[in-house]
Structure 1
Amino acid sequence: MRCLTLADALKAHGADCHFISREHPGHLLQVISQRGYKVNSLVAPVQPAQAAIKNIVNEAPSPQQEPVHTAWLGSSWQTDAQETAAILTSLQPDWLVVDHYALDQRWEEALAPHYRQLLVIDDLADRPHRCDLLLDQNLGSQPEHYAPLVPAHCQVLAGPHYALLRPEFAALRPYSLQRRQRQPTLRHLLITMGGVDQPNATGQVLQALKTCALPADCRITVVMGLTAPWLQNVRELAAQMPWPTEVVVNVNDMAQRMADSDLAIGAAGSTSWERCCLGLPTLMVVLADNQKEAAAHLQKNGAANCLEFSGLLHKNLHDQVQGLIDQPQRLNQTSTSASVITDGLGVERMVATMAISLNKSI
């Protein structure tokens, strides 16, 4: 989704953008295509190796070289490089943008003959890269974290100042911040635990809210993906809630829904920067280990209160919500702290940086 946001911004400046993706279960190739982009699917048999990577394809990497998330690729990096090279040979893009935790310097060097410059999107700082530009939009990230992992000439853009948010978030920021200057209330809760929500965190959140003394006129909105495995279960729970609870899927107006909400209960991840842009107070549920560091920084900065997804989620969530009901001024305090994290204009900064790096206008 963040790559789609970047592609939209580049396209608005006249760039021609293509996508390369493997058809993993739950892939979004159709969504990308519907947005008007050419999608190159990595499902065909491996093409003959390009000359530039012939000597690398049969290399047997040592185990310690493998990125932690290697299994997420769905193939060996050599196979993926072969298939990608077959597509890039005809495209020869000015920029290749790589957003995948399983790819590292070996893959990037293998494809070097097929692009002018390389942008890597990362937030783990756990493997070397051969790139010209690197983006880590997490709070607490610093360029020096990547100093031993990238070439000396690489420019590292770090922090939510560069977060890739769709333009509607920056557009709605003044409205959202202004409405929160009024007397704080807890009338509209937004629950967003990710489009798939494999562990059914949404269901646990709804069960915990049942025990809270929410205002009688409160309403709850739950946002999920159409293919979420627990969708029907969540709909059944929603029908049993003491307050009007709406379950919506595949929404295209998330910025407006966030701006109109008083509190979000949501997963950590890139959605965090959307909530910060709009000053939306958040109870954040950490669902994966690679979310812990960014979540800790958000809590340290007063931009969110974080909860571990564990057996204690029910009680901890109840206590946090009850605390906001008893002390509603905390909503304004969290909103103010969140709003200074990012202004939502990061994607324009990224496009400008890419244009300057190519020494031409995009």
Structure 2
Amino acid sequence: MEPLKEIYSSHWIQNLSFVVSQIDPKIKASDFQKKLMESPWKNYELKERINRIADTFLFFWNDPLVKIEPKLMALIKLLRKQGVSDFNFPYIFLNDIVVKSGIQDFETSMRILEKTTVFSSAEFAIRFYYINFFEKTVRQMEEWSNHKEPFVRRLASEGSRPILPWGIGVPAIKRQPEIHLSILENLWNDENEIVRRSVSNHLNDISKLQPDLVLEFCKNKFGVSEILDKNLKHALRGLLKKADVRALSYFQYDTKWKPEDFKLTLTKNKIKIGDSLEFHLSFLNPSTKNIKIRIEYKIGFLLANGKLGNKVFQLGEKLLKSKEKIEINKKHSFKPITTRVYYPGKHSITIVINGSECETSQFELLNGK
């Protein structure tokens, strides 16, 4: 798979340079392209390339933000005319231009970000305004949570997350995540799924800091619709994986239920990096009642320090009839991925049902060479 940074291909940059020359005749397309791609462009990773594009614009537009504003709006208008859709990640540098040229001009920045976030999300850019104008930014985000445009409402939730991936940290939000509960109350049942999903992710962030806050928020919100219940489950996913009894009870998982005749079998006790761990499990519902179950497996990955770090994976959910027996076959891949380093040695796998650990087996991971 091609690295994400290659979204900024030579063809893409040529087109951007042409568009820039159309909205600002003082800039030659060839000059813009040359400046943008000068060494060490080829060695830059994704975030460095985004930063470089913004800096290239500001090399030619060395003006206050209020003077850059009409050019940015003209740029977006022409790109849309070319068929570029809204909420388009490659153009996220537009928000960086706003921050770099106007971080001290709060009013102009907010006016522009309200528009650019529709074209390419401003969730990372808004974090810099939290750092510089915390109270004013909180009020602005609360106002945006009632905006008619869904991508602006999403910004109110996404940009204010306590633990936003890729985003700069905002210590004041981590210290008091409850400060944005009014925004989440406005948006948790929003008509737009992309907004609701952002709220779920925001709540999941808070659950890592103040779980009781999220449990209380969700407690009386179930039963409105199947879709909203699904969003609430996504919000509580972290607590469900941690086997939080209260979170499990919200979804009618009986944490005291125990299976009978439980068996966990590994096809092999030794596998190579690059191969898959194959396992089989079976068990019986001994109850005279139907039981709703949530089945997960937890891999204990060997870490560089010699300890095991656990990660939970879901196997599924099922309503087990009285005396019903279930059998599951599963493969877990140990193919190398960028987000995890595999270390040869002893690992473990544990089956978890309704938050309770049923059985653990050991296996050895070997070098694939």
TM-score class, shorter-chain normalisation, is under 0.3
TM superposition score normalised by structure 1:
0.27
Larger Rg over CA atoms: 2
Which structure: greater strand fraction?
A: 2
TM superposition score normalised by structure 2:
0.26
